[in-house]
Amino acid sequence: ISPLIGWTGAANLLLAPFGGFALNLAAITAAICMGREAHENPDRRYVAAIAAGAFYVLIGIFGATVGALFLALPRELVLAIAGFALLGTIGSGLASALGDESEREPALLTFLVTASGVSLASIGSAFWGLLAGLAALFVLRVTPAHLRRLRPHAGAATAGEQQSQRTD
């Protein structure tokens, strides 16, 4: 862990009781401000960080008003806005998780079970998604490779069918 992230985490710990919990370089806003979306030139991305800081100050000043505005909006609209805001993050995370072909199925299963919202024994879908993904990864790692091979494609003949075609 970077010492800078450790120090900002310690500052968060000290300032959180006073409402200063957003001082975190690992926060999603830091990722947004440091991404290509902020500016093509990495040397100019600091402008996004300054703008985000100014926005945080405005939210701090007008926080109650902004909260009241969001409470006045229909719940579905607020959820839709939040969903659109997370599209890039979700897409990037999925691309990263599904990038390794050897572990694609466990990653996809983890995502699908978590996204399903299933709740068993009062335990949320995040837990069950991780459990399903770990189980799938275990099966992939422990099961011999010859047992995991995919069945032949629907149009392809199996070995037995090929043998009977040769004898005809």
Q: Write down the domain spans for the chain.
A: 1-72
Q: Which amino acid is at 2?
A: S
- pLDDT on residue 60: 83
The predicted structure's pLDDT at residue 77: 94
Please tell me the predicted confidence (pLDDT) of residue 3. 84
SS3 39: coil
Identify the pLDDT of residue 76. Answer: 94
State the Cα–Cα distance between residues 106 and 108, nearest whole angstrom: 5
pLDDT of residue 45: 85
Q: Burial level of 8, CB count in 10 A (0-12/13-18/19+)?
A: middle
Helices (H), 16-124: 28-34, 46-61, 63-72, 75-97, 104-116
- pLDDT reported for residue 131: 94
Written as tens digits, the pLDDT of the chain (168 aa) is 678 778 888 888 888 887 766 666 666 777 778 788 888 888 888 888 888 888 888 888 888 898 898 899 999 999 999 889 888 888 888 888 888 888 888 999 999 999 898 888 889 999 999 999 999 988 888 876 656 565 555 455 555 555 555 555
